Amino acid sequence: MTGKRERGLHELYADDPERADALVFDRRADASRRGFLRGAGLAGMGAAVGGTIPFAGTMPAGLVPAAMAQPVQQAQAGPPAEKGPKILKMDGKADLVVLGDKPVVAETPAHLLDDEVTPTEKFFVRNNGLTPDPASMPSDPKAWKIKIDGEVNTPLDITLGDLMTRFPQVTHKLMLECGGNGRSFFVPEARGNQWTNGGAGCAEWTGVRLADVLKAAGLKSTAVYTGHYGADPHLSGDATKPSISRGVRLEKAMEEHTIIAFKMNGKDIPLIHGAPARLIVPGWAGSTSAKWLNRIWVRDKEHDGPGMGGFSYRMSKKPIVPGSKGDEKDTVILESMPVRSIVTFPAHGTRLAGGTRKIDLRGHAWAGDNTVQSVEISIDYGATWKKADVKAPANKFAWQRFTASIDLPSAGYYEIWSKATDSKGATQPFQAGHWNPQGYGGNPVSRVAVLVET
């Protein structure tokens, strides 16, 4: 008679986290804690993560180890795992992790975001429609036309070439971040692509200030909002439907770092990233930074294009019950993105040689319209924190490098946690809070698992 196979902890945490939690964390603990690791639970957890857990005594009850919760995105010695993330296969792109095929959506593993300026090949991909057919694009990019109309005195129908010569060119290092970055951290799962922290990057963009172009068109006193349009076809193939059309308050449009860009890292923008011209609205949800830009409609009211209604890029005004339907009328537009930090070295899943007792780590942090005031690091599950050294941004809206040296007491399994605090005092929470149906604003403490071999 064949007995029922007992599932391992990896399977249990994936399929039944409550059952795994009950097995691992002792329920006879005092009332001040829900449970703690000891005996068989500690042994089972150690076996699952590959080593002893030096700070097991401070591991919060119910915590799913990062080694189990996140895919290991760094190549390890030995045969490849049977299951793993799907890797993007695209000329000119690094090994990004595919989150969606239609439209194409791919995030950058944190260890590939270690450069001070994100190389084009490592930059995340987020489309809302189909990528334009290269054959439909002009042979000379300077012939590309952009229309400025609506609440302006002198509508413009200007070529990219004229734009380049008529207005001063500027170059800035600017953050772009998908509005859904961090969505996978919500419990229960929210709708949409399940981003971890990789829907972000800081490239060097060259273009002209949108404010200069709008001033040339002559803004009317009734102008309050913009509506952005691109040439990406709707997923249905219907040429009459825009795939997405978002906009921003006029104050953000007139901010000097909001630009119409035509170069990325010193070269013409690649087609997948919006060539020949795109908007860069730094610090706000990336969907406002329209690719393949061909029109800006200046409005006398909040824009109402596709992607502006319902729960699209909107947050609940007040907390709602996680998993509930929510009320569309009780939402506000997602604008400035929340504070976030990521450890870019060492990579998640790194195995360190026996005898390693120190790690010189580094990472990046950013905070939407704000700057990062501090970053703190913990290796004992948040029991204690050490301040990292944080560099000033290269310019407004650039991310900020942080570094720290941490001492390890022994071999074993560690989680490196990082949390950032912005210039207004907002700090990354331990768990993704303010649950919303579309999963925006998920910015919990970043966690990287490493194993020091015996």
Q: Which residues contact 137 (CB under 8 A, 6 or more apart)?
A: 144, 271, 275, 276
Q: Residues 151, 223: contact at Cβ < 8 Å?
A: yes
Amino acid at 86: K
Question: Which of the four pLDDT bands, split at 50, 70 and 90, describes residue 63?
Answer: confident
| Rounded Cα gap, residues 416 and 347, in angstroms | 10
For residues 328-353, average pLDDT: 97
- Per DSSP, the three-state class of 326 is coil
* Tokens encoding 314: 């909107």
Closest to 126 in 3D by CA, of 86, 168, 181: 181
* Tokens encoding 26: 């002792």
| Rounded Cα gap, residues 301 and 248, in angstroms | 11
76 has pLDDT over 70: no
The CATH superfamily holding the domain 125-333 is: Oxidoreductase, molybdopterin-binding domain (3.90.420.10)
pLDDT 10s digits, 224-265: 999 999 999 999 989 889 999 999 999 999 999 999 999 999
Give the start-to-end residue ranges of the domains of the chain.
Answer: 9-64, 125-333, 340-452
* Tokens encoding 110: 């944190």
Q: If you average pLDDT over each of 25-34, 230-239, 337-346, which comes out highest? A: 337-346
Q: Which of 21-25, 39-43, 315-319 has the lowest mean pLDDT?
A: 21-25
30 has pLDDT over 60: no
| Rounded Cα gap, residues 26 and 39, in angstroms | 9
| Rounded Cα gap, residues 369 and 397, in angstroms | 7
* Tokens encoding 44: 């089972």
CATH fold for domain 340-452: Immunoglobulin-like (2.60.40)
Where is pLDDT greater, at 111 or 26? 111
CA distances from 427 to 27, 109, 263, 319, 438 (A): 31, 23, 34, 18, 22
What is the pLDDT of the chain when averaged over all its residues? 91
pLDDT 10s digits, 189-212: 999 999 999 999 999 999 999 999
| Cis amide linkage into residue 276, ω under 30° from 0 | yes
pLDDT for 24: 59
Q: Which helix (H) or strand (E) holds 452?
A: strand 446-452
Amino acid at 239: A
pLDDT 10s digits, 78-88: 344 446 789 99
Only one residue has tokens 């210039």, namely 423
| Rounded Cα gap, residues 224 and 300, in angstroms | 5
5 has pLDDT over 60: no
Q: How many residues does the chain have?
A: 454
| Rounded Cα gap, residues 125 and 121, in angstroms | 10
Q: Residues 24, 9: contact at Cβ < 8 Å?
A: yes
For residues 277-287, average pLDDT: 98
| Rounded Cα gap, residues 23 and 40, in angstroms | 9
| Rounded Cα gap, residues 356 and 229, in angstroms | 53
| Rounded Cα gap, residues 412 and 79, in angstroms | 22
Task: Determine how many CB atoms are found less than 10 A away from the CB of residue 125.
Answer: 22
* Upper half-sphere CA count for residue 298 (Cβ side, 13 Å): 28
Provide the sign of the torsion angle of the four alpha carbons 389, 64, 338, 209, taken in this order: positive
pTM: 0.91
74 has pLDDT over 50: no
Q: Which helix (H) or strand (E) holds 160?
A: helix 160-166
